[in-house]
């Protein structure tokens, strides 16, 4: 009965927490949860009411959701209001978030690392410089490996990813030979 209300609130909390953890803000995930559990698209005012926050607050959060492709807007003829509905393809969402947020941050850090290496390269030779260069280049290698992995994850679809996982979870005898 009112268990439904409880279930909804719990999911809202779960996704709000998750989105907060990933640096998207709490109500971003909460909004998504509300839309995800709604059979029809909801207006800005309805969303604000559902979470007990202001329209302005929702306006900003929903923009981020749109940018991340987690929410689509839909219009109704003869209605000036804007309605929103949740994107249901979680893998598409994950890919987009990875691409737009994580990857961006990663790239910036990568760029700084390369710049740092470049600076060290300009320094006058010596044991101190050699040590730093070696360390930085080790780090660069790691960045490149990570970069490759993320790239692959972004390219291949969920089915192939799942298939890879399945392959790796059934450790064939020939595989590990340490």
As a whole number of angstroms, the distance between CA 93 and CA 69 comes to 6
Q: Counting contacts by CB under 8 A, is residue 120 touching its own copies?
A: yes
- Distance (Å, whole) CA 137 – CA 143: 10
User: Is the Cβ of residue 4 or residue 77 nearer to its own copies in the bound state?
Assistant: 4
Sort 19 into a burial class: Cβ within 10 Å, 0-12 / 13-18 / 19+: buried
Q: What residues numbered 71-100 form the site for its own copies, per CB under 8 A?
A: 88, 90-91, 94
Minimum CB–partner distance for residue 57 and DNA (Å): 4
Half-sphere exposure of 3 (CA within 13 A, CB side): 1
> Is residue 82 a contact residue for DNA (CB under 7 A)?
yes
d(CA 12, CA 151): 31
Q: Quick check: 136 binds its own copies (CB under 8 A)? A: yes
Closer to its own copies by Cβ: residue 58 or 136: 136
List all residues 6 or more positions away from 95 whose beta carbon is below 8 Å from its beta carbon. 153, 154
Contact between 62 and DNA per CB under 7 A? yes
Number of Cβ within 10 Å of residue 74's Cβ equals 10
Whose Cβ is closer to DNA: residue 52's or residue 178's?
52
- 169 is a contact residue toward DNA (CB under 7 A): no
Site for DNA in 37-56 (CB under 7 A): 43-45, 52-56
Kindly state whether residue 167 participates in binding its own copies, applying the rule CB under 8 A.
Answer: yes
Out of DNA, its own copies, none, what residue 92 binds, judged by CB under 5 to 8 A for its kind, is: none
């Amino acid at each position: 009965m009112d268990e439904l209300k409880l279930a909804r609130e719990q999911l809202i909390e779960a996704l709000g927490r998750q989105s907060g953890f990933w640096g998207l803000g709490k109500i971003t995930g909460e909004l998504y949860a509300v839309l995800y559990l709604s059979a029809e698209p909801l207006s800005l005012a309805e969303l604000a009411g559902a979470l007990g926050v202001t329209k302005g607050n929702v306006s900003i959060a929903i923009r981020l959701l749109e940018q991340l492709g987690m929410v689509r807007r839909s219009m109704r003829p003869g209605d000036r209001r804007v309605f929103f509905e949740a994107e249901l393809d979680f893998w598409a969402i994950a890919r987009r978030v990875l691409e737009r947020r994580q990857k961006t941050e990663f790239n910036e850090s990568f760029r700084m690392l390369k710049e740092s290496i470049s600076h060290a390269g300009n320094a006058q030779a010596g044991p101190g410089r050699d040590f730093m260069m070696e360390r930085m280049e080790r780090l660069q290698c790691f960045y490149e490996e990570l970069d490759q992995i993320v790239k692959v994850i972004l390219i291949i679809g969920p089915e192939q990813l799942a298939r890879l996982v399945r392959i790796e979870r059934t450790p064939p005898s020939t595989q590990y030979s340490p």
